[in-house]
Amino acid sequence: MDRFLLMTCFVRAVETGSLSAAGRDLGLSQPNVSRYVAALEDHLQTRLLHRSTRKLVLTPEGERYYAEVRRILDAVTESESSVRDNVEPSGLLRVACPTTLTHAFVLPHVPAFLERYPRLELDLQISDRYVNLVDEGVELAIRIGHLEDSALRARRIGLFERVCVASNGYLAKHGIPRDPDDLRDHHCVIFTLLSSGSTWRFRNAEVPVSGRFRVNSPEAVREAVTAGLGIGHGPQWLFEAGLKDGSLRLLLGEYAAPPVPIQILYVANRLMPKRAIVFMDFITQKFSLIPALNVDVATTSAS
């Protein structure tokens, strides 16, 4: 039996969520798709999917196999595309994105992107957890911070400042920190998914902080700081509204660490499909027009 067909049926079943939807997508009957997936499992001598009347669930072996097969099918598609002229980007593109950045700066541009590339499907996986591109079948990841994984390559698409802020009410009650070390005596709102943990980085210091409120959402950090629960630390654009209307106050600006890059990451030794290339170009161009994501390094260093 055609192994390529078996793999295609399996992948589309995973991506559409059901055997019948995969059949409609591929122009096959649901029983045939079910038979082809079963034949693939027989060939591999392992269960790939748990089936129920409501949904399909990947087994651990199925998760690993899906990531590998997705790369194989993408490579075949891209190889075929490379020998054609003016081939329109197509297929499913998976992009992992951090929550707040995506809601603020990526999602507003998704309609224009999909309109420009009508044969392309976009799966944005919005989460602040670390996504392993090699193992999870994700082609691109937008990440904040410097690249530390040698298996990946990065394209910088933005640069922003991290700032300390607090509400006027909090400062009236607890006083104003004059240098980063003063934060040890203050209530700080902790973002639990920060790569440096509860240590905040400044230009010439790393300060361990503590507080009574910890949360895994940047938006919740902003709301807690606005409510007076403590001092917050994060991207300046996260607190921009409060800084503009005067409800929040900028702190320790002269101690701010160097700007932080925003990057699109991809696997170094993996063939890059055209759909991934056009997404990178599109987002890079859109981000270049956003002042909050294009901090002037020279100006920042001199301030």
Cβ pair 199, 207 in contact under 8 A: yes
What's phi and psi for 63, nearest 5 deg?
A: -60, -45
Fold agreement (1-87, 162-255): no
Q: Residue 127 is encoded by which pair of tokens?
A: 């989460």
Q: Where are the alpha helices (DSSP H) in the chain?
A: 3-16, 19-26, 30-44, 60-82, 99-101, 110-116, 133-136, 168-174, 218-226, 240-245, 274-287, 297-302
Closest to 35 measured CA to CA, from 23, 50, 17? 23
SS3 assignment, position 236: helix
Cβ pair 232, 265 in contact under 8 A: no
Closest to 271 measured CA to CA, from 112, 91, 85, 6? 91
Distance CA 247, CA 232 (A): 13
SS3 assignment, position 168: helix
User: What integer pLDDT is reported at residue 298 of this predicted model?
Assistant: 39
Distance CA 247, CA 225 (A): 10
Distance of CA 189 to the CA centre of its chain: 23
Closest to 56 measured CA to CA, from 91, 4, 16, 9? 16
Closest to 5 measured CA to CA, from 42, 44, 32? 32
User: What integer pLDDT is reported at residue 141 of this predicted model?
Assistant: 93
Angle at which helices 3-16 and 30-44 cross, to 10°: 110
Q: Return the domain boundaries, the chain.
A: 1-87, 162-255
> pLDDT tens, position by position, for the chain (303 residues)?
688 889 989 988 888 888 888 888 788 888 999 999 999 999 999 999 988 767 788 888 888 888 888 878 877 776 666 555 456 888 889 999 999 999 999 999 999 999 999 999 999 999 888 888 877 778 899 998 877 766 788 899 999 999 999 999 999 999 999 999 999 999 999 999 887 778 999 988 899 999 999 999 999 999 999 999 999 999 999 999 999 999 999 999 999 988 889 999 988 766 778 899 999 999 999 999 998 898 764 344 433
SS3 assignment, position 268: coil
User: What integer pLDDT is reported at residue 52 of this predicted model?
Assistant: 73
Name the fold adopted by 162-255. D-Maltodextrin-Binding Protein; domain 2 (3.40.190)
Name the fold adopted by 1-87. Arc Repressor Mutant, subunit A (1.10.10)
